[in-house]
Amino acid sequence: MYHLTHLTISELEQLLRDRVDPVELNKIISAYEMAESVHAGQQRRDGSPYFFHCSRVCKILIAELGITDSDVLCAALLHDVLEDSDEITREIIAYNFGEYCAYIVETLTKDLERQEIDHDAVDLEHVERLKHASDDCLIIRLAARLDNFRCLEFDLKRNPLRYINETMERYVPLAEARPNPHLHYLVAELRKEQNKFLG
Protein backbone atom coordinates (compact mmCIF):
# COMPACT_ATOMS: atom_id res chain seq x y z
CA MET A 1 0.00 0.00 0.00
CA TYR A 2 1.40 3.32 -1.13
CA HIS A 3 1.04 5.17 2.19
CA LEU A 4 3.26 2.59 3.91
CA THR A 5 6.11 2.91 1.39
CA HIS A 6 9.11 5.16 1.85
CA LEU A 7 12.49 6.00 0.35
CA THR A 8 15.25 4.27 2.31
CA ILE A 9 18.77 5.68 2.63
CA SER A 10 20.14 2.86 0.45
CA GLU A 11 17.56 3.64 -2.28
CA LEU A 12 18.43 7.31 -2.00
CA GLU A 13 22.12 6.53 -2.46
CA GLN A 14 21.34 4.23 -5.37
CA LEU A 15 19.23 6.87 -7.13
CA LEU A 16 21.86 9.59 -6.72
CA ARG A 17 25.25 7.85 -6.58
CA ASP A 18 26.12 8.42 -10.25
CA ARG A 19 24.37 11.77 -10.55
CA VAL A 20 25.52 13.78 -7.54
CA ASP A 21 28.93 14.78 -6.18
CA PRO A 22 29.81 12.66 -3.06
CA VAL A 23 29.95 15.77 -0.84
CA GLU A 24 26.46 16.82 -1.98
CA LEU A 25 25.19 13.26 -1.49
CA ASN A 26 26.45 13.32 2.11
CA LYS A 27 24.58 16.59 2.64
CA ILE A 28 21.35 15.03 1.33
CA ILE A 29 21.83 12.00 3.58
CA SER A 30 22.33 14.36 6.57
CA ALA A 31 19.04 16.08 5.70
CA TYR A 32 17.37 12.67 5.49
CA GLU A 33 18.69 11.76 8.95
CA MET A 34 17.66 15.10 10.47
CA ALA A 35 14.13 14.81 9.08
CA GLU A 36 13.84 11.18 10.20
CA SER A 37 14.96 12.18 13.70
CA VAL A 38 12.61 15.21 13.96
CA HIS A 39 9.59 13.21 12.78
CA ALA A 40 10.45 10.07 14.81
CA GLY A 41 7.35 8.87 16.65
CA GLN A 42 4.98 11.10 14.65
CA GLN A 43 2.16 9.42 12.79
CA ARG A 44 -0.18 10.67 10.12
CA ARG A 45 -3.94 10.25 10.25
CA ASP A 46 -3.61 7.20 7.95
CA GLY A 47 -1.44 5.45 10.56
CA SER A 48 1.83 5.75 8.64
CA PRO A 49 5.04 7.21 10.11
CA TYR A 50 5.15 10.94 9.26
CA PHE A 51 8.68 10.71 7.88
CA PHE A 52 7.52 8.35 5.11
CA HIS A 53 5.73 11.35 3.54
CA CYS A 54 8.88 13.50 3.55
CA SER A 55 10.96 10.72 2.01
CA ARG A 56 8.37 10.11 -0.73
CA VAL A 57 8.29 13.82 -1.61
CA CYS A 58 12.05 13.60 -2.13
CA LYS A 59 11.57 10.47 -4.23
CA ILE A 60 8.98 12.20 -6.45
CA LEU A 61 11.54 14.94 -7.15
CA ILE A 62 14.32 12.49 -8.02
CA ALA A 63 12.47 9.61 -9.71
CA GLU A 64 9.65 11.49 -11.44
CA LEU A 65 11.14 14.94 -12.10
CA GLY A 66 14.84 14.04 -12.43
CA ILE A 67 15.85 16.72 -9.91
CA THR A 68 19.31 16.17 -8.40
CA ASP A 69 20.05 19.62 -6.94
CA SER A 70 21.15 19.00 -3.36
CA ASP A 71 19.62 22.21 -1.95
CA VAL A 72 16.22 21.32 -3.35
CA LEU A 73 16.36 17.66 -2.27
CA CYS A 74 17.45 18.66 1.25
CA ALA A 75 14.55 21.11 1.41
CA ALA A 76 12.13 18.42 0.23
CA LEU A 77 13.23 16.13 3.06
CA LEU A 78 13.11 18.97 5.61
CA HIS A 79 9.98 20.75 4.37
CA ASP A 80 7.98 20.10 7.57
CA VAL A 81 10.84 20.22 10.08
CA LEU A 82 10.28 23.80 11.28
CA GLU A 83 6.59 23.04 11.85
CA ASP A 84 7.29 19.88 13.82
CA SER A 85 10.36 20.69 15.93
CA ASP A 86 10.93 23.09 18.80
CA GLU A 87 14.71 22.64 18.56
CA ILE A 88 15.41 23.07 14.85
CA THR A 89 15.46 26.68 13.67
CA ARG A 90 15.91 28.34 10.30
CA GLU A 91 19.47 29.22 11.38
CA ILE A 92 20.30 25.57 12.08
CA ILE A 93 19.04 24.58 8.63
CA ALA A 94 21.02 27.41 7.00
CA TYR A 95 24.17 26.44 8.90
CA ASN A 96 23.92 22.75 7.95
CA PHE A 97 22.37 22.89 4.50
CA GLY A 98 22.86 26.41 3.16
CA GLU A 99 20.87 29.61 2.90
CA TYR A 100 18.79 28.60 -0.13
CA CYS A 101 17.61 25.36 1.50
CA ALA A 102 16.67 27.33 4.64
CA TYR A 103 14.76 29.87 2.50
CA ILE A 104 12.72 27.09 0.85
CA VAL A 105 11.91 25.35 4.15
CA GLU A 106 10.94 28.65 5.80
CA THR A 107 8.73 29.56 2.82
CA LEU A 108 6.94 26.19 3.08
CA THR A 109 6.36 26.48 6.84
CA LYS A 110 2.87 27.27 8.13
CA ASP A 111 1.79 28.28 11.62
CA LEU A 112 -0.01 25.06 12.57
CA GLU A 113 -1.47 26.42 15.82
CA ARG A 114 -3.07 29.34 13.99
CA GLN A 115 -4.20 27.00 11.23
CA GLU A 116 -6.23 25.00 13.77
CA ILE A 117 -8.17 28.19 14.60
CA ASP A 118 -8.38 29.76 11.13
CA HIS A 119 -7.49 27.22 8.45
CA ASP A 120 -8.52 29.37 5.49
CA ALA A 121 -6.64 32.51 6.49
CA VAL A 122 -3.38 30.59 7.05
CA ASP A 123 -3.76 28.65 3.80
CA LEU A 124 -4.47 31.78 1.75
CA GLU A 125 -1.47 33.57 3.30
CA HIS A 126 0.64 30.56 2.34
CA VAL A 127 -0.62 30.68 -1.25
CA GLU A 128 0.18 34.41 -1.37
CA ARG A 129 3.73 33.72 -0.15
CA LEU A 130 4.19 31.02 -2.79
CA LYS A 131 3.13 33.48 -5.52
CA HIS A 132 6.34 35.41 -4.89
CA ALA A 133 8.57 32.42 -4.09
CA SER A 134 11.02 30.53 -6.29
CA ASP A 135 9.81 27.70 -8.54
CA ASP A 136 11.56 25.22 -6.24
CA CYS A 137 9.28 26.17 -3.32
CA LEU A 138 6.23 25.53 -5.46
CA ILE A 139 7.66 22.26 -6.84
CA ILE A 140 8.09 20.91 -3.30
CA ARG A 141 4.66 22.15 -2.19
CA LEU A 142 2.97 20.50 -5.18
CA ALA A 143 5.00 17.29 -4.78
CA ALA A 144 3.89 17.17 -1.13
CA ARG A 145 0.28 17.70 -2.19
CA LEU A 146 0.66 15.01 -4.87
CA ASP A 147 1.95 12.55 -2.28
CA ASN A 148 -1.03 13.43 -0.09
CA PHE A 149 -3.44 12.94 -3.01
CA ARG A 150 -1.95 9.46 -3.49
CA CYS A 151 -2.72 8.74 0.19
CA LEU A 152 -6.31 10.02 0.26
CA GLU A 153 -7.81 6.56 -0.26
CA PHE A 154 -6.17 5.52 3.04
CA ASP A 155 -8.16 8.08 5.04
CA LEU A 156 -5.34 10.63 5.25
CA LYS A 157 -7.59 13.70 5.44
CA ARG A 158 -10.68 14.26 7.53
CA ASN A 159 -12.20 16.15 4.59
CA PRO A 160 -10.57 14.89 1.38
CA LEU A 161 -12.90 16.84 -0.92
CA ARG A 162 -11.96 20.12 0.70
CA TYR A 163 -8.27 19.22 0.39
CA ILE A 164 -8.66 18.39 -3.31
CA ASN A 165 -10.63 21.59 -4.00
CA GLU A 166 -8.14 23.80 -2.14
CA THR A 167 -5.27 22.26 -4.08
CA MET A 168 -6.94 22.61 -7.48
CA GLU A 169 -8.32 26.12 -6.86
CA ARG A 170 -5.45 27.71 -4.93
CA TYR A 171 -2.19 25.92 -5.71
CA VAL A 172 -2.61 24.58 -9.24
CA PRO A 173 -3.18 28.05 -10.82
CA LEU A 174 0.15 29.21 -9.33
CA ALA A 175 1.90 26.33 -11.08
CA GLU A 176 0.03 26.78 -14.36
CA ALA A 177 1.05 30.45 -14.47
CA ARG A 178 4.74 29.49 -14.68
CA PRO A 179 6.57 27.96 -17.65
CA ASN A 180 8.40 25.35 -15.53
CA PRO A 181 7.89 21.82 -16.99
CA HIS A 182 8.30 20.22 -13.54
CA LEU A 183 5.31 22.20 -12.29
CA HIS A 184 3.24 21.20 -15.32
CA TYR A 185 4.07 17.53 -14.75
CA LEU A 186 2.96 17.80 -11.11
CA VAL A 187 -0.32 19.48 -12.13
CA ALA A 188 -1.03 16.67 -14.63
CA GLU A 189 -0.35 14.05 -11.91
CA LEU A 190 -2.57 15.89 -9.42
CA ARG A 191 -5.40 15.87 -11.98
CA LYS A 192 -4.92 12.12 -12.53
CA GLU A 193 -5.12 11.43 -8.79
CA GLN A 194 -8.12 13.75 -8.42
CA ASN A 195 -9.99 11.85 -11.14
CA LYS A 196 -9.05 8.50 -9.58
CA PHE A 197 -10.29 9.56 -6.17
CA LEU A 198 -13.48 11.20 -7.40
CA GLY A 199 -14.16 8.39 -9.88
Q: Which residues are catalytic?
A: 83-84
Backbone angles phi, psi at 144, to 5 degrees: -65, -40
Going by C-alpha positions, the residue among 55, 48, 51, 64 that lies closest to residue 13 is 55
Identity of the amino acid at 11:
E
What is 131-173 written as a DSSP string?
Answer: HTS-HHHHHHHHHHHHHHHHHGGGT--SSHHHHHHHIIIIIHH
Backbone angles phi, psi at 129, to 5 degrees: -65, -40
- 180 vs 28: CA distance, rounded Å: 24
What is 75-87 written as a DSSP string?
Answer: HHHHTTHHHH-SS
Backbone angles phi, psi at 45, to 5 degrees: -60, -30
Number of residues written out for the chain: 199
SS3 content of the chain, % helix, strand, coil (to 5): 75, 0, 25
